[in-house]
Each structure stands twice: as structure tokens, then as C-alpha cells.
Structure 1
Amino acid sequence: MALPASALASVRRTCSSGTRGFTLIEVMVVVAIIGILAAIGMPAYSDYIRRSELPEAFSTLASQRVAMEQYYQDNRQYGTNTCGEGKIKFSDQPATGAKFSYACKLSGNNGNQAYTLTATGTSGHTKGHDYTLNEAGEQGTTQFKGAVTSKACWLKRGTEC
């Protein structure tokens, strides 16, 4: 027994109109997947940006150590009152673009035979990072990701040297 033509047309219209678009459940599943990916990706991206800003401190400390050693070769001391008697520049970055501030402290028997260079994070992802370098070339991390530490290396990624 065959259906009349008018009934068949009515069935076709109903079936074809029901298959358009997405259901609410499908949309919610997609939104949930995007949320999970964002929750995983954002911390990883933030850590990547932080690690890309740390080499500024490492290169500046290393170059300032070279300058201090050159000053020592000429004067047989690292300075009488200040490191290199003010001839050593401790920040070669413009004040608006620097991610670290730099300092030098003289020490030793006569107060001028040893020094410690320090880089302290000042902005963005570098806040909470402090690195040191002394006349013996010993690297140190005193603060990493906001936590106080005393590692004998420059921490970049994890908490172990």
C-alpha cells in the first residue's frame, strides 16, 4: 500500500527541517573542550613568556662581570666606594623596557676585593625572580617564581639545577 503524494511530501518536509543546525548539547560539548584546552594552554604559554624574559638578567650579569674583571685588572680592586667607581654600567636596557633592575655590592677583607652582582625582576613575568653572580663566577638564585630559595645556579624552568 502506497502513501498518497500529499502525505509523502509532508513527511519529506518534516525530516529535512529537523536536520538543520546544531543541538544545544553539541554546542556545550564544543565549549567545554575549548575551555579544557584553554585551561591547559594558558599556564604553559605564561611560563614560556616568563622563560623568554629571564635571559636579559643572565646576559647583563655576565657582561657586567666581564666589566668588573677588566676594572680589577687595571686597579687591583673592584672599587673603593662603589663597584668600579661608577664606571661600570649596571643596566644596559632603557628604563621603560627593562625587566630587571641591577645592583652591585662590594665586600671582602678590605671591602673592595669581592663583589656580588644582583638582578631583581621588576615587571611582568620577571617579578619574584632574583639572580646573583659574584667575582668567582658563582651563580645563584635567591628568589624563583616568588618563592625564596638558595640554589647555586640560575634557575630557569624547574626548581633543581
Structure 2
Amino acid sequence: MLLNRKSANSQLGFTLIEVMITVVIIAILAAIAMPTYTNYIKRSNIKAAQSDLVTLGLVYENFYQRNLSYPSTSYTSTATLKSDFAQWSPTKEDFFEFSTTTTSDHKSYTLTATAKNSTNLKGCVLSINEKNARTATSCNGVTW
């Protein structure tokens, strides 16, 4: 009596057609998922830059509380901002360049985050002022 004996024609693996169908299904899923994931990453970087601007705004407001005026210097780079305001440390300085402008009477300011050209957010500009007016330009549909 022969029990559990496999026939000579039994299949031991996958056919080429089965493998090709699996590869096509994976390719379709990847084609749908990758743009969605890329968009998610862009939006999260923009939201983090917005948070960095709000934090810098709080630093400016703290400065105003102590001096009854905003800083007299308009900063053009993230590095100079970080050196003068050690309590502020942006999380997205690899993606955005932060700058500020202050009016001559030191009673108002505008804080700006501009996407660096080396990122996939090129052209995105975020800003906030002392009245908490916020703008987002060319930022992948993200608004404040």
C-alpha cells in the first residue's frame, strides 16, 4: 500500500503566469501608493515648518514682552536667527530657510519660511506676522 506518495506530475512551485500576475498587482498598488505617500511627506514637512514659524513668533513675542519692541534686526538666514535666539531650534531647516523682517519703528514683524530649491517643495513660502496673519503660497494645497 502506498500512502502519501505524490504523483510524478504534481506541481511543486508557481507557474510563470502566477508570478507575473503577482508582480503586476504589486506594481499597480505601488503606482497608487507612492504619489500618496510623497504627498503625505510634503504636507508633513510644511506643517512642521508652520510649527517652527509659530514657535519663532512666540520667541519674538517674548522679546517684545521684555523690551517693549520687536528685534531691530531683520534676519536673512536660519543660521543668524539660531545664533541670536538660542531658545529657537527649527525642525525643518534642511527643507526651509527662515527669515524675518521688522519695521523701522520695531512695532511689527513678518516671519517667513521659504522652501529650499533642493527640496521637492520648491516655491513654497509660508509667513506669519505679529497679528497672527498667516499665508501659504504654492505649498501643495496646504493652508493655515
Name the TM-score, length of structure 2 as normaliser.
Answer: 0.69
1:119 matched residue in structure 2: 113
1:8 matched residue in structure 2: none
Aligned partners of 2:48 and 2:91 also within 8 Å: no
My pick for the range that moved more, 98-107 or 70-79, is 70-79
Post-superposition offset of 1:138: 1.1
Aligned positions of 1:4-153 closer than 5 A: 13=8, 16=9, 19-82=11-74, 87-88=84-85, 92-93=89-90, 98-107=94-103, 110-122=104-116, 123-145=118-140
Identity of aligned residues (%): 35
Name the TM-score, length of structure 1 as normaliser.
Answer: 0.63
Which 4+ residue blocks in structure 1 deviate beyond 4 angstroms?
Answer: none
Any unmatched runs of 5+ in structure 1? 1-11, 150-154
Q: Report the CA distance shift for 1:131/1:58 in structure 2 as closer, same or farther (over 3 A).
A: same
Q: Distance in 1 between matches of 2:127 and 2:87?
A: 13
Q: Distance in 2 between matches of 1:27 and 1:106?
A: 63
1:88-139 deviations in whole A, cap 9, x for unaligned? 46962489x63221100123xx452211100122254444422111000111
Corresponding residue SS for 1:144: coil
Q: Report the CA distance shift for 1:27/1:82 in structure 2 as closer, same or farther (over 3 A).
A: closer
> Which fold has the larger relative contact order, with Cα–Cα distance below 8 Å and residues 6 or more apart in sequence?
2
| Alignment RMSD | 3.1
